[in-house]
Amino acid sequence: MDVVNQILNSESEKNAELQKLINVEKEVDVEIDEGTLLVSDYNTLTIKSGSKSLQSDLQALTRDNTQLLMNKIWALPTKTVEEVIVAELPKPKYVLPRSRKLPKPKQLTKWEQFAKEKGIKKNKKARSKLKWDDLLQKWTPAYGFKRAEADRQKEWLVECKEDGKPVEDPRAAIKTSKIEKKAKNELQRLRNLAKAKKVKIPKVGLPSTEHFKDSKQLSVGAKVAQVSTASLGRFNETPKKEDLRKVKKGKVTKKKKKSGQMKESAPKTSKKPKSGKGNRDFKQKVGTSDKKEYLSVLKEEISCGIRRKDLPTYSSEEVSQHDNPNNGIWVSYKEGVYNITDFVTKHPGGQNKIMMAAGGSIDPFWMVFANHNKSEILELLESMRIGNLRSEDVYKKTADTFDPYALEPVRSKILKVNGKQPFCAEPPPPLLVKNFKTSKDVFYVRNHLPVPIIDIENYELELAVEDDTIKTLTLEDIKKYPKYTVTSAIMCGGNRRSEMADAKPLRGLSWSVGAIGNASWSGARLCDVLNGLGVKEEDYNHVQFEGMDLDPSGIPYGASIPISKAFDPRADVLLAYEMNEEEISLDHGYPIRVIVPGVVGARNVKWCNKIIFSKDESPSQFQQNDYKGFSPSIDWDNVDFKTAPAIQELPVTSAICIPQRGERVTVDKNGTIPVKGYAWSGGGKKIIRVDVTVDQGETWHIAKLVAQDPDAKEGRHYAWTLWSLDLPVDKTKGSVEIWVKAVDSAYNTQPESFKNIWNLRGFLCNAYHRVKVDLV
């Protein structure tokens, strides 16, 4: 019994201690206002400011007064609100001062005033924003978009259907199903609007539904339907005077017109091929405003390669049987099948290139050559559509796809991107003339294929005669040769193409004046490497270079130069491993880049791993069917790339980098404005003069040549020339157009306009550079 008594006494002592914690005694009772939760303590403070226990004493005082307040709150009456017990506070004894004035009462709307006068009360059922979820054991939103997140948390286990695809994410399938259902509902909504408007919606030709949400825009869709051809959709009624068309195996043919019937002309639009492939004809009855609306619709993304219910379905095996002109040449793209038989010979990249995809898919090729993903090209391809690819073949094709651009290097943010895949970019013009040598971050980048993954430990440079390897060199072997340094500008063959395109549309990346850079390149001279191989120069005509960058079929980028240039020590051809006294960067050709000074950038092969002595030029697409010049009268419907030699040395050119087009330039007290730029000529020719005019050639001002390579020998001036001029102008004119032209050591100069040097690929763009500026 003594043990039991001890336990009971111990528990009573603990309860007494707990009771002491909530019982607080004061000499003067504190005043508590439960309405405002205010405690006023009138007892004298006995805490000394210098006391070591100041903090603990203040905390104890605060704790006691808070406990008194809590005791009062627990004694208040309670009520239940939404399953929660709350205390009912009494009216406040004191009115606490506000930090801000009371807001003015909100003015009633007309409806609220009317409802107040008539005694109309809102009859909207109150509902809670939250509800208790028994499964998640927490409060979740009862409605709104946040509710979906709670639903997803509950779907931790999703059933996989027996007929589902083995690698398909069931959650992604559910999400896709919801999106499709939403799209169908939106389409039905549009049909209802069209029905009310008494118009018809074409099956294609409309952009995404979010852009067409009113009857006015639906009218535009109807007008599009009226001027569309069969490749844009089929309709129940044929518009008056529209040409009847037949679609067979991807070919579009017109029925012959009756004799005497006038041919209706189509309006000219920019960026359309002369051959007319993929063009849409407008009818004379459609007004100008309708044409503008129609063109704005066509600017939307073309739905190419999407499954169409009005076309038959083919398997990949059936497509593979059509890989030659006799059976017809078919390809697949996404979910579509296309007959490209008639287009093969007109392919800008050459017949051999497009035939690699014959009987198969062009998806992997277009993933590498992403410049095909343009509306005019997609529209042209869709005009050759003959069917759909079987679903399981589409799935297999997608599963086997690998992104070759996944491991691209990081580039400078200052570069203006002209092409993402492959990467092509140029710097802002003012940065070009800031320094004589262009840093690697400012130097333009022109890649033709994905950047290769370099395994430097296993890197070898193969030297071969035709197909027989005679020697291999590691990077360390190349560095054992005498090191030479050459300062050379490298310029893309399409530099300033955007200006030529302004004169007449063409195909190619829209380069401004920045597809050029000047740097010092260091490495082994190619002639030193070749001289020890026992190869006779007279036995061969060309030296071919191959890079490590590959196209989808495994064919590397390639180019070639005449063998005489390769063996000539005065040509200064290098196997470079340094750029501006630093290791060459990956985007610029690490570990080895062939530097051919004075020659178009396309022959300065990056990531070089093979050199071949041959009697023939490089078989590469970029040597045979690209980087060639043609007469202005040659276009894509009559071009023959075999008739033109490959571009090697480039003509003289110049450009204005400061000021830029459209810039507002301040005229100084002497009536001049500062003008700066570069000039360069291929083949090692020196720039001897730069002329500038603001009155269309009536008077010329000679610029100062501020930077040239002082160490360059005669005939080996490979670096560019920077020039500047304080150009006299008439401020009262408000604006002027500045022209510039350069003259090289052979007294070659630039043509005045692009009219007579235009070519279908936009190369050799060296007409006067013109910049119009405003004067202030």
pTM over 0.75, yes/no:
no
| Helix (H), strand (E), coil (C) string for 224-241 | HHHHCCHHHCCCCCCCCC
User: Rounded mean pLDDT of 2-24?
Assistant: 69
Is residue 393 over pLDDT 50?
A: yes
Average pLDDT over residues 713-726: 97
Count the Cβ atoms, other than its own, within 10 Å of residue 407: 10
- Any catalytic annotation for residue 347? yes
What are the φ/ψ torsions at residue 151 (nearest 5 degrees)?
A: -65, -40
The answer to whether 291 touches 237, Cβ cutoff 8 Å, is no
Taking a C-beta distance cutoff of 8 angstroms, is the pair 178, 186 a contact? no
- Alpha-helix runs per DSSP H in 120-251: 146-154, 170-197, 215-227
Choose among 678, 712, 454: nearest CA to 584.
Answer: 454
pLDDT score at 94:
82
Least reliable range by pLDDT among 107-121, 191-205, 257-271, 573-587: 257-271
Sign of CA dihedral 198, 204, 209, 212: negative
Please tell me the least confidently modeled range out of 5-14, 570-579, 698-707: 5-14
Of residues 333, 390, 448, 492, which has the active-site annotation? 492
pLDDT, the chain, mean: 81
Q: Tens digit of pLDDT for each residue in 178-229? A: 777 877 787 788 777 777 765 554 444 444 444 444 555 555 555 555 544 4
The verdict on whether 446 is a catalytic residue reads: yes
SS (H, E, C) 619-630: CCHHHHCCCECC
Active site residue 211: no
109 pLDDT band, cuts 50/70/90, is confident
Tell me the percentage of the chain whose pLDDT exceeds 70. Answer: 77
Q: Which among 280, 322, 390, 446 is annotated as catalytic?
A: 446
Instruction: Calculate the alpha carbon distances from 570 to 513, 598, 703 in Å.
Output: 29, 12, 30
In tens, the pLDDT along 296-331 reads 433 444 578 888 888 999 998 889 888 888 889 999
HEC profile of 8-51? HHHHHHHHHHHHHHHCCCCCCCCEEECCCCEEECCCCCCCCCCC
**Among 308, 347, 507, 770, which one carries the catalytic annotation?**
347
Per-residue buried b or exposed e for 302-328, using 16+ beta carbons within 10 Å of the residue's own CB: bebbeebeeeeebebebbeebbeeeeb
The reply to whether omega before 659 is within 30° of 0 (cis) is: yes
Give me the mean pLDDT over the 242-260 stretch.
Answer: 43
> In terms of pLDDT, which residue wins out, 727 or 219?
727
Catalytic residue selected from 338, 459, 590, 627 = 627
664 has a pLDDT exceeding 50: yes
For residue 4, what pLDDT band results from cuts at 50, 70 and 90? low
Confidence at residue 467, expressed as pLDDT on a 0 to 100 scale: 76
d(CA 251, CA 468): 46
- Span 402-448, pLDDT tens digits: 678 877 888 988 999 999 889 999 999 999 999 999 999 999 999 99
- What average pLDDT does range 455-472 have in this prediction? 90
**How far apart are alpha carbons 165 and 176 in whole angstroms?**
14
What is d(CA 433, CA 455) in angstroms, rounded to the nearest whole number?
Answer: 36
627 given a catalytic annotation: yes
Please name each of the domains of the chain with its CATH number: 22-94 (no CATH), 193-252+274-298 (no CATH), 313-399 (3.10.120.10), 418-643 (3.90.420.10), 653-775 (2.60.40.650)
The pLDDT, as a whole number, for residue 184 is 79
Residues 6+ apart with CB under 8 A from 257: 263
Q: What is the mean pLDDT of residues 252-260?
A: 42
Average the pLDDT over 29-38 and give the result: 89
pLDDT digits (tens, 9 = 90+) for 36-87: 889 988 888 776 665 567 788 888 888 889 988 988 888 899 888 877 888 8
Judged against a pLDDT cut of 50, whether residue 260 lies above it is answered with no
Tokens (6 digits) for 249: 């195996």
Token pair recorded at residue 540: 């061969």
Cα(first)–Cα(last) distance of the chain, in Å? 109
| pLDDT higher than 50, residue 470 | yes
Among 491, 523, 434, 496, smallest CA distance to 720 is for 491
In angstroms, what CA-CA distances link 81 with 91, 141, 517?
19, 18, 75
> 588: closest CA among 711, 753, 741, 439?
439
Residues of the chain with pLDDT > 90, as a percent, come to 44
Question: For residue 16, how many other CB atoms are within 10 A of its CB?
Answer: 9
pLDDT of residue 161 exceeding 90: no
Residue 553 pLDDT? 78
702 or 221, which is more confident: 702
